[in-house]
C-alpha cells in the first residue's frame, strides 16, 4: 500500500500534482501538507499542517500515516529568494535534509524533490544545455538547488535512498497563482490578458527561456516516480524540456485569440536572472532512460490556458 506525503501541496505545482496523485493512489492514500489550511479540492482529502523546517512534525506525520513516499515541493523560488537569501537557503536546504533523513531512517520506498534550470549559470552552454555541464548559479535559489542535487545523489550512494528529481524549466499553469519565480510572467500574462487586456512584462521581448505546461510537468513527475528503479540512471536531477519561447511569442499567441491585447516591456532585476539561464535544454537522457515526452507545444498550451482560465474567472 502506497502512502504518499506531499509537502508544499498548496503551491503552483503541488496543488495539481496532489490531485493527480490522489487519482492514481486513491484520495485517502495521499496526505497533503502545507503552512496553511487548504481550500477547494485539496481539502477533500487528508491534510496536515506542516512547516517544512519542523523535523519533529515531519517525522510525526510520517509515523501517523505510515508514509512510504514523500514529494517534497516546498521552496522559496528564484525572484523571492533574492529578497532574503539566508532564509531561502535555510528553508530550501534544511527541509531537504530532513526529508532525506526521514527516508533513510524510516526506509521509505521513494522520495521526489524538484530541482530547476536555476542550477545553470552564466558559463553554462545556453543552447541545448547538456545533462552534465558547467553549473555556476548566481542566485541563492540556484545555489540551493545545485547543493540539493549533490545531497540527493549522496544519500542515494551512501544510504541507498531512492531519491528522484527533475530540473524543471519555467512551469506554466493557471489553477494556482505563481509563487515568486523569474518565469512567472508566462502565467501572469494570461490573467492580465483576460482581466485587463494588457500586460507589462518584467523581461525583455526577446528573452528565450525553457518552459513547460503544468500538465506536462505533472506527467513527467509521475512518469519518473512510476519508472522501475533500474531505469533511473541519474540520481542528482534529470534535465526535462518541452518548449522554449520569448515574451513576444507568447503575446502573439494570445493576440491570435484576443485581438486587442497589448503588451509592454519594463525589464527589472529578474532580467539579469533570466539572462543567466539557458535558452533551451537537452533532455535526451530522460527520454532514453524512462521515456519522457511532452504533449504540449506553445499553441496548444496557450489555447488550453485561455479556455480553462476564462471558465475559472467566471466562477
The angle formed by the CA atoms of residues 83, 85 and 88, to the nearest 5 degrees, is 105
Instruction: Give residue for cell 527533475.
Output: 166
Per-residue model confidence as pLDDT tens digits over 127-177: 999 999 999 999 999 999 999 999 999 999 999 999 999 999 999 988 877
The pLDDT value recorded for residue 183 is 85
Q: What is the pLDDT of residues 80-125, one digit of tens each?
A: 899 999 999 999 999 999 999 999 999 999 999 999 999 999 999 9
- Name residue 168's beta-bridge partners: 116
- pLDDT band for position 314 (cuts 50, 70, 90): confident
CB atoms within 10 A of CB 85: 15
Per-residue cell: 144: 540551493
Residue 55 has pLDDT above 80, yes or no: yes
Are 281 and 169 contacting, i.e. CB atoms less than 8 angstroms apart? yes
User: Could you tell me the three cell numbers for 26?
Assistant: 486513491
Strands (E), the chain: 4-7, 30-34, 47-49, 69-72, 110-112, 115-116, 163-164, 166-168, 170-172, 198-201, 209-213, 238-239, 243-245, 262-265
Q: Which DSSP category does 280 fall into?
A: S
Give the DSSP per-residue string, 201-243: ESS-TT--EEEEEHHHHHHHHHHHHHS-GGG---SS-EE---E
* Residues forming a β-bridge with 6: 32, 71
Please state, for a pLDDT cut of 90, what percent of the chain lies above it: 91
Question: What distances in angstroms separate CA 102 from CA 2, 32, 97, one per listed residue?
Answer: 16, 17, 8
Task: Say how many C-beta atoms besides its own lie within 10 A of residue 104's C-beta.
Answer: 16
Cell, residue 54: 519542523
Within a 10 A sphere around the Cβ of 143, how many other Cβ atoms?
Answer: 22
- Indicate whether 241 pLDDT > 90: yes
Residue 123: CB atoms within 10 Å: 11
134 and 217 in contact (C-beta within 8 Å)? no
Q: Which of 75-84, 116-125, 215-224 has the lowest mean pLDDT?
A: 75-84
pLDDT of residue 8: 97
- Mean pLDDT of the chain, nearest integer: 95
User: Is 141 noted as a catalytic residue in this protein?
Assistant: yes
CB contact set of 315 (below 8 Å; sequence gap of 6+): none
Edge-to-edge, what's the strand order for the sheet holding 170-172? 170-172, 209-213, 243-245
Mean pLDDT of 22-44: 96
Q: Which of 141, 155, 174, 185 does the annotation list as catalytic? A: 141
Amino acid at each position: 500500500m502506497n502512502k504518499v506525503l506531499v509537502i508544499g501541496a498548496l503551491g503552483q505545482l503541488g496543488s495539481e500534482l496532489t490531485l493527480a496523485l490522489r487519482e492514481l493512489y486513491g484520495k485517502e492514500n495521499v496526505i497533503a501538507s502545507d503552512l496553511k489550511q487548504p481550500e477547494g479540492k485539496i481539502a477533500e482529502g487528508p491534510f496536515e499542517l506542516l512547516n517544512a523546517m519542523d523535523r519533529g512534525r515531519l517525522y510525526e506525520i510520517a509515523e501517523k500515516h505510515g508514509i512510504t513516499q514523500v514529494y517534497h515541493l516546498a521552496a522559496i523560488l528564484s525572484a523571492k529568494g533574492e529578497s532574503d537569501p539566508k532564509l531561502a537557503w535555510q528553508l530550501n536546504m534544511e527541509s531537504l535534509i530532513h526529508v532525506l533523513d526521514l527516508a533513510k531512517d524510516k526506509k521509505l520506498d521513494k522520495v521526489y524533490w524538484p530541482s530547476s534550470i536555476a542550477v545553470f549559470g552564466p558559463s553554462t552552454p545556453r543552447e541545448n544545455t547538456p545533462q552534465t555541464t558547467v553549473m555556476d548559479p548566481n542566485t541563492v535559489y540556484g545555489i540551493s538547488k545545485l547543493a540539493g542535487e549533490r545531497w540527493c545523489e549522496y544519500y542515494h550512494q551512501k544510504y541507498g535512498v531512492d531519491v528522484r528529481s527533475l530540473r524543471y524549466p519555467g512551469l506554466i499553469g493557471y489553477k494556482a497563482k505563481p509563487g515568486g519565480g523569474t518565469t512567472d510572467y508566462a502565467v501572469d500574462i494570461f490573467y492580465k490578458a483576460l482581466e485587463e487586456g494588457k500586460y507589462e512584462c518584467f523581461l525583455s521581448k526577446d528573452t528565450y527561456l525553457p518552459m513547460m505546461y503544468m500538465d506536462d510537468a505533472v506527467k513527467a513527475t509521475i512518469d519518473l516516480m512510476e519508472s522501475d528503479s533500474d531505469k533511473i540512471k541519474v540520481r542528482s536531477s534529470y534535465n526535462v524540456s518541452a518548449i522554449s519561447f520569448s515574451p513576444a511569442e507568447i503575446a502573439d499567441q494570445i493576440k491570435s485569440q484576443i485581438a486587442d491585447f497589448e503588451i509592454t516591456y519594463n525589464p527589472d532585476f529578474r532580467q539579469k536572472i533570466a539572462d543567466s539561464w539557458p535558452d533551451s535544454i537537452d533532455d535526451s537522457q530522460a527520454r532514453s532512460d524512462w521515456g519522457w515526452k511532452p504533449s504540449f507545444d506553445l499553441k496548444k498550451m496557450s489555447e488550453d490556458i485561455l479556455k480553462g482560465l476564462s471558465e475559472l474567472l467566471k466562477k
